[in-house]
Structure 1
Amino acid sequence: MAGESDISGGAAAAATAAPAERAARRRLGDWSATATHHTPWEDAQAILTGTVLATMGLGILSHLGLLTSGVAGLSLIVSYAFGINVGVAFFVINLPFYALSIRRMGMGFTLKTFVAVALLSAMSAVLPQVFTIGYLDPLVGAVIGGLLLGFALLALFRHRASLGGSGILAIFLQDKFGWRAGLTQLAIDLTILALAFTVIDWQKVLYSLAGALVLNGFVAINHRTDRYIAA
């Protein structure tokens, strides 16, 4: 029967594809250790796209003198306080987290994350020379910046990469001491926002909080393993 033929043909195709898939995983190793088996080329385009979006988001926030959550927010504080390029600050602050990343997330994740952070640092150094902003309402800018960072993180997360930072620390502390990662991340973000009062005024802190809520809300809604299993 036609239905039986289709079923047997599908089973034969799956059996044929399985060895090829296993061979590809052996070649790519931990780099492609995701449920979707992204190829290095697919990962490359996602990392490039994600870092471009993140660079634009940070550029907008930096232009407005605003902050965001996590290491990106801490990098902006360092940038405002010491006049260091935000990309350079972001790269340096992320360095201690790579050891935790290798231990907790694996070498493939760590390498892709390192590449993403390095690209963002380089792009942030070049951005002021190729992109300038005129007038931008602070609240609108905070929302746009948060959305761009949210899209960036989503692209990276779905290809088993990140922009490093406090999220890795939160996961490590949960594994080591049983501290809930969400509460740890919240404590870190609140500390960063508290530090913000030392470099920006309270109105900008409120705008920054709005942008951080947009960012985290976007990621929470769209990055769900029951809808897209990649990380």
Structure 2
Amino acid sequence: MPAPPPSTAPSLTPARHKHTVIEDIFGLVAGVVVTSFALFLLRSTGAVTGGIAGLALAVEYWSGVSVSLLVVVLNVPFFAVALWQKGVRFTVRTLLAVGGLAVTTQFIGHVFTIDSINPVFGTLTGNLLAGLGMLMLFRHQASLGGVSITGLIIQERTGFKAGYTQLIFDACVVAISFVTLAPSMVALSILGAAVLNVVIVLNHRPDRYLGY
């Protein structure tokens, strides 16, 4: 019996394509800008969030040191981990993202002001935007340093979701915030951090996302 002719039906599995340089640049810039606006909303509300950015906010409330400086200083040990485990390209992109976040966060307060904001809206929207910003950076082989680097490494090595690692760290950050925040704001920050991590857990899925 002759062999059947080769199928001409299109493949149901889309091809994987690298991001172009322009796509990477735009993705990194967009991620930084969205995250800096998220931090601006959280600072205006007086809430904290997760990750090193959230820890920087908590320390700023307590010490008065600028969050722009803290987000760089607190990340220094994690840059070495990124270079060791993730390579030069990821580390350079993360350095650019963290530096860009520090500059943009400092700049945004001079071009945008909020006279009043509902704390629930500010906290939840700020965390939602922070999750989206981090997601943009993850998808362009970068991060905001800190626990996000650790979470990505753990996910790659074990399959344990990066969002779950982030959530564990965020619980510690929120616990620290009890020193400076009222209990009601701490509770709201917990809800906001959950929103951020749901965004990452549901959307940072290498098995679904085809760009790299």
Tell me which interval the TM-score lies in, with the shorter structure as reference length: 0.7 to 0.9
State the alpha-carbon separation in 2 of the partners of residues 117 and 171 from structure 1.
16
Match of 1:114 in 2: 95
- Partner letter of residue 58 of structure 2? I
Q: Note if contact 1:97-1:168 (Cα within 8 Å) is conserved in structure 2.
A: yes
Question: Does residue 59 of structure 2 align to residue 78 of structure 1?
Answer: yes
> Which of 1 and 2 has greater Rg?
1
State the alpha-carbon separation in 2 of the partners of residues 214 and 174 from structure 1.
20
Q: Summarize the alignment of residues 1-231 of structure 1 with structure 2, pairs less than 5 Å apart.
A: 36-170=17-151, 185-230=166-211
SS at match of 2:195: helix
- Partner letter of residue 117 of structure 1? V
SS at match of 1:124: helix
Provide closer, same or farther for how the CA distance between residues 80 and 49 of structure 1 changes in structure 2, counting only shifts above 3 A. Answer: same
The size of the alignment, in residue pairs, is 199
State the alpha-carbon separation in 1 of the partners of residues 153 and 24 from structure 2.
25
State the alpha-carbon separation in 2 of the partners of residues 209 and 189 from structure 1.
8
Quote how far apart the aligned CAs of 1:187 are. Answer: 3.6
Consecutive unaligned residues in structure 2, runs of 5 or more? 11-15
State the alpha-carbon separation in 2 of the partners of residues 171 and 147 from structure 1.
19
Provide closer, same or farther for how the CA distance between residues 181 and 50 of structure 1 changes in structure 2, counting only shifts above 3 A. Answer: closer
Provide closer, same or farther for how the CA distance between residues 181 and 100 of structure 1 changes in structure 2, counting only shifts above 3 A. Answer: farther
Identity %: 36
State the alpha-carbon separation in 2 of the partners of residues 109 and 94 from structure 1.
14
State the alpha-carbon separation in 1 of the partners of residues 56 and 110 from structure 2.
20
Higher relative contact order (CA 8 A, sep 6+): 2
Quote how far apart the aligned CAs of 1:184 are. Answer: 5.1
State the alpha-carbon separation in 2 of the partners of residues 128 and 149 from structure 1.
17
State the alpha-carbon separation in 2 of the partners of residues 214 and 49 from structure 1.
20
User: Runs of 4+ in structure 1 displaced over 3 angstroms?
Assistant: 169-176, 180-187
State the alpha-carbon separation in 1 of the partners of residues 152 and 207 from structure 2.
20
- Structure in which a larger fraction of residues adopt helix: 1
Q: Note if contact 2:127-2:195 (Cα within 8 Å) is conserved in structure 1.
A: yes
| CA offset digits 1:182-202 (Å, max 9, x no partner) | 665444222211110001111
Q: Note if contact 1:160-1:230 (Cα within 8 Å) is conserved in structure 2.
A: no
SS at match of 1:133: coil
Quote how far apart the aligned CAs of 1:113 are. Answer: 0.7
Cα RMSD between the aligned structures? 2.5
Provide closer, same or farther for how the CA distance between residues 222 and 173 of structure 1 changes in structure 2, counting only shifts above 3 A. Answer: closer
Q: Note if contact 1:57-1:149 (Cα within 8 Å) is conserved in structure 2.
A: yes
- Partner letter of residue 140 of structure 2? H
SS at match of 1:68: coil
Match of 2:13 in 1: none
